[in-house]
Amino acid sequence: MRLFRTIAGVRTQLKPAWKTDQNLALVPTMGALHSGHLSLIEQAVTANDVVVVSIFVNPLQFEPSSDLEQYPRQLEQDCQLCEEVGVDIVFAPTVEELYPHTPSAQGTQTQEEMTRVIPPPAMTSQMCGHSRPGHFEGVATVVTKLLNIIQPTRAYFGQKDAQQLAIVRRLVADLNFPVEICACPIVREASGLAYSSRNQYLSSDEKKQAQGLYQGLQRAKQAFQEENIRTAEKLLLYLQENISGLQLDYTALVDPDTLQPLTSVNKKALLALAAYVGKTRLIDNMILRDRAPIIAIDGPAGAGKSTVTRQVAYQLGLLHLDTGAMYRGLTWLVLNSEIALDDEAGIAELVSQADLQLVLSSDPEIPVKVSVNGKDVTKAIRSSLVTRNVSVISAQKAVRDKLLEQQRQWGEKGGLVAEGRDLGTHVFPNAELKIFLTASVGERARRRQKELVTQGQENIDFEQLQQEIQQRDTYDSARAIAPLRKAPDAIELVTDGLTIEEVIAKIIHLYRDRFPIADSG
Ligand code: PAF
């Protein structure tokens, strides 16, 4: 791992990664790393080739007379932690390096000499913005600078700062940054208290009091899930009643994307609060949503994912999100256009405007219905021409981006099972059940041999089959686009010696363990 204090240094180090199109992750932090940060970093390390952690206590996002001076700084310890979890680069610039045009006051908000980024006031003026004027402009400015300096493929933010996350997402969309914003779940201590660098300020009594934040959220969530309480008025009351004793700053029920207040929960809502525990201001939140569970099945080629996925969907009455059919749909579109298969820009232009519609099913006998730009292509996408070309088309970034967005839209509704290579790490990081389905190289070679024999092939070289499978695994794990990765929270299922039925039964058992009363999710 290398530490850089200058923009010139870090950018020079990143040149090879940019040139070779590697998956480059940025995890922006203000240091004093705790388990919450480490979970962001671990997710970034799992899913990317190069990981940069930035450590910068950003004066622009602290109000005058706040805890800027007191904010914990522990660069050496942070670097050590980063090294341990596999970070490649720590970028820890000084204030002078990042804000050269605010020399006199070291970047505090009184300085007006520099360019600022102003997110939509409707998103910044309420919730935390109310008591922290200027805070989100400071965050937006530093995040913009960091994205420009590092030029990551993905940037990781915690769901704990839900308002910040929504504002960063909007910033990236409005300013067309070519980066994917990855949100990571809140990490909590055993008591339920969300990890925060500011927890260091709490005395042990205050820490006990602070647990009330989570308890209040939990109680409101329980009222939503078990008693079907949906109005903001009642949910906020549950929250407030359960955190009596703390000095509340605000409680809010808002749309998680736009941050606009909701009067009741429809599909998804953000329940958020801030409160003072002694002098320390803490925030916490929970997403309330109706969506049914998702099962994400990843694993290497030849582990039996397709059959297992179809059967699991069928037996649990969940929809089978056939991502392969989606790629086939866009491949059909390209093949039926005038555009050459290697004209990536032309294909990007074509697919970004395409209207791909799916009608999913649970029944393995009823394949997904696919239409492209209003034309039913359910049969056409199974042609050998499409089969021959689907891998070339699905390796193109614009194609994957288009489908990622659509897959996540299906994910918003939930109630599905899907299989792939990076579903648990990337497409559905919040999936309720993640399975990494695998088998030893020898076992997969034996299965393939059996298949080939059934197809009438003789004289199969078993050693060579094993080698091919090994090579394919190495390639799939190293490829830039959708590399094969096991999510840290995935359950690994090694299928050596198990029949397909046994594998399916195991997954259904795992699902039933988590959702004992769910019938169709
Ligand atoms: O969440 C934080 O730690 C900060 O707001 C961020 C995103 C690093 C910007 O300074």
Question: What is residue 517's predicted lDDT score, i.e. its pLDDT?
Answer: 57
Closest CA to 160 of 192, 132, 186: 186
Q: Is the pLDDT of residue 104 over 70?
A: no
Q: Where are the beta strands (DSSP E) in 331-471?
A: 356-359, 369-372, 375-376, 414-420, 433-438
Domain ranges, residue 213? 197-289
Q: Averaged over 398-402, what is the pLDDT? A: 94
Dist. CA 75–CA 5, nearest whole Å: 11
Claim to verify: residue 304 and residue 418 sit in the same structural domain: yes
Total residue length of the chain: 521
Question: What is residue 319's predicted lDDT score, i.e. its pLDDT?
Answer: 95
Claim to verify: residue 457 and residue 313 sit in the same structural domain: yes
Atom of ligand 1 nearest to the CA of 28: 8
Q: How far is the CA of 31 from the centre of ligand 1 (A)?
A: 9
Q: Which residue's CA is the closest to the ligand 1 atom numbered 2?
A: 29
For residue range 444-464, list pLDDT tens digits in order: 999 889 888 988 888 889 999
Claim to verify: residue 308 and residue 456 sit in the same structural domain: yes
Claim to verify: residue 241 and residue 369 sit in the same structural domain: no
Claim to verify: residue 14 and residue 82 sit in the same structural domain: yes
Closest CA to 271 of 319, 308, 237: 237
Claim to verify: residue 296 and residue 398 sit in the same structural domain: yes
**Structural domains counted in the chain:** 3
Beta carbons of 435 and 510 less than 8 angstroms apart: yes
Does 521 fall in a domain? no
Closest CA to 414 of 303, 287, 502: 287
Q: Averaged over 361-387, what is the pLDDT? A: 93
Question: What is residue 248's predicted lDDT score, i.e. its pLDDT?
Answer: 94
Question: What is residue 112's predicted lDDT score, i.e. its pLDDT?
Answer: 61
Q: Which residue's CA is the closest to the ligand 1 atom numbered 9?
A: 139
Dist. CA 108–CA 127, nearest whole Å: 22
Q: How far is the CA of 283 from the centre of ligand 1 (A)?
A: 14
Looking up residue 224, the CATH number of its domain turns out to be: 3.30.1300.10
Closest CA to 134 of 162, 161, 112: 112
User: Which residue bears the tokens 């697919």?
Assistant: 351
pLDDT confidence bin for 204, thresholds 50/70/90:
very high
Q: Averaged over 495-512, what is the pLDDT? A: 95
Q: Which residue's CA is the closest to the ligand 1 atom numbered 5?
A: 139
Angle between helices 323-335 and 344-352 (to 10 degrees): 110
Tell me the β-bridge partners of 50: 24
Q: Averaged over 15-35, what is the pLDDT? A: 95
For residue range 304-359, list pLDDT tens digits in order: 898 999 999 999 999 999 999 999 999 999 999 999 999 999 999 999 999 999 99
Beta carbons of 261 and 126 less than 8 angstroms apart: yes
Closest CA to 501 of 315, 365, 343, 256: 315
Dist. CA 207–CA 213, nearest whole Å: 11
Q: What is the rounded end-to-end Cα distance, in angstroms, of the chain?
A: 44
**Of 204-218, 250-264, 374-388, 507-521, the least confident:** 507-521
Atom of ligand 1 nearest to the CA of 143: 9
For residue range 40-92, list pLDDT tens digits in order: 999 999 889 999 999 999 999 998 877 788 888 999 999 999 999 999 999 99
Does 192 fall in a domain? no
Q: How far is the CA of 205 from the centre of ligand 1 (A)?
A: 28
For residue range 430-446, list pLDDT tens digits in order: 899 999 999 999 999 99
Q: Among 161, 179, 186, 283, which is best to mutate for testing ligand 1, by the most ligand atoms less than 8 A from CB?
A: 161
Atom of ligand 1 nearest to the CA of 168: 7
For residue range 474-500, list pLDDT tens digits in order: 888 887 777 888 998 999 999 999 999
Question: What is residue 47's predicted lDDT score, i.e. its pLDDT?
Answer: 86
Does 189 fall in a domain? no
Dist. CA 489–CA 61, nearest whole Å: 33
Q: Which residues line ligand 1 (CB under 6 A)?
A: 28-30, 58, 61, 139, 142-143, 161, 164
Q: How far is the CA of 275 from the centre of ligand 1 (A)?
A: 19
Dist. CA 236–CA 186, nearest whole Å: 20
Dist. CA 216–CA 459, nearest whole Å: 67
Dist. CA 226–CA 224, nearest whole Å: 6
Q: Averaged over 494-507, what is the pLDDT? A: 95
Does 519 fall in a domain? no
Atom of ligand 1 nearest to the CA of 139: 9
Q: Is the pLDDT of residue 209 over 50?
A: yes
Q: Among 26, 52, 58, which is best to mutate for testing ligand 1, by the most ligand atoms less than 8 A from CB?
A: 58
Give the list of residues 6+ apart from residue 253 with CB closer than 8 angstroms, or none: 232, 235, 236, 261, 262, 265, 269, 270, 271, 272
Claim to verify: residue 13 and residue 130 sit in the same structural domain: yes
Catalytically active residues, by annotation: 37
Q: Among 27, 56, 143, 144, which is best to mutate for testing ligand 1, by the most ligand atoms less than 8 A from CB?
A: 143
Claim to verify: residue 66 and residue 93 sit in the same structural domain: yes
Query: Among the three residues 289, 314, 348, which one is the final residue of a domain in this structure?
Result: 289
Claim to verify: residue 46 and residue 159 sit in the same structural domain: yes
Looking up residue 56, the CATH number of its domain turns out to be: 3.40.50.620
Does 327 fall in a domain? yes
Q: Which residue's CA is the closest to the ligand 1 atom numbered 3?
A: 29
The set of long-range contacts for 241-244, using a CB threshold of 8 Å and a minimum separation of 24, is 241/216, 242/212, 242/215, 242/216, 243/212, 243/213, 243/215, 243/216, 243/273, 243/275, 244/212
Vertex 166, ends 161 and 171: CA angle to 5°?
120
Looking up residue 506, the CATH number of its domain turns out to be: 3.40.50.300
Claim to verify: residue 121 and residue 71 sit in the same structural domain: yes
Q: Is the pLDDT of residue 105 over 80?
A: no
Q: Is the pLDDT of residue 395 over 80?
A: yes
Closest CA to 231 of 265, 271, 267, 272: 265
pLDDT confidence bin for 101, thresholds 50/70/90:
confident
For residue range 275-318, list pLDDT tens digits in order: 999 999 999 999 998 888 999 999 998 888 989 999 999 999 99
Task: Write the single-letter amino acid at 421.
Answer: R
Does 190 fall in a domain? no
Question: What is residue 362's predicted lDDT score, i.e. its pLDDT?
Answer: 87
Question: What is residue 518's predicted lDDT score, i.e. its pLDDT?
Answer: 40
Q: Which residue's CA is the closest to the ligand 1 atom numbered 1?
A: 29
Q: Which tokens hold the place of 334?
A: 């390209």
Question: What is residue 109's predicted lDDT score, i.e. its pLDDT?
Answer: 45
Percentage of the residues of the chain whose pLDDT score is greater than 90: 77
Query: Among the three residues 244, 265, 289, which one is the final residue of a domain in this structure?
Result: 289
Atom of ligand 1 nearest to the CA of 54: 8
Question: What is residue 473's predicted lDDT score, i.e. its pLDDT?
Answer: 87
Vertex 59, ends 123 and 1: CA angle to 5°?
105
Query: Among the three residues 157, 184, 211, which one is the final residue of a domain in this structure?
Result: 184
CA-CA-CA-CA dihedral for 93, 71, 85, 153, to nearest 10? -50
Claim to verify: residue 267 and residue 318 sit in the same structural domain: no
Q: Is the pLDDT of residue 10 over 90?
A: yes
Q: Among 27, 29, 156, 159, which is best to mutate for testing ligand 1, by the most ligand atoms less than 8 A from CB?
A: 29
Does 318 fall in a domain? yes
Claim to verify: residue 264 and residue 296 sit in the same structural domain: no
Question: What is residue 521's predicted lDDT score, i.e. its pLDDT?
Answer: 37
Beta carbons of 518 and 292 less than 8 angstroms apart: yes
Beta carbons of 28 and 34 less than 8 angstroms apart: no
Does 374 fall in a domain? yes
Q: How far is the CA of 87 from the centre of ligand 1 (A)?
A: 18
At 89, phi and psi to the nearest 5?
Answer: -140, 135
Atom of ligand 1 nearest to the CA of 158: 1
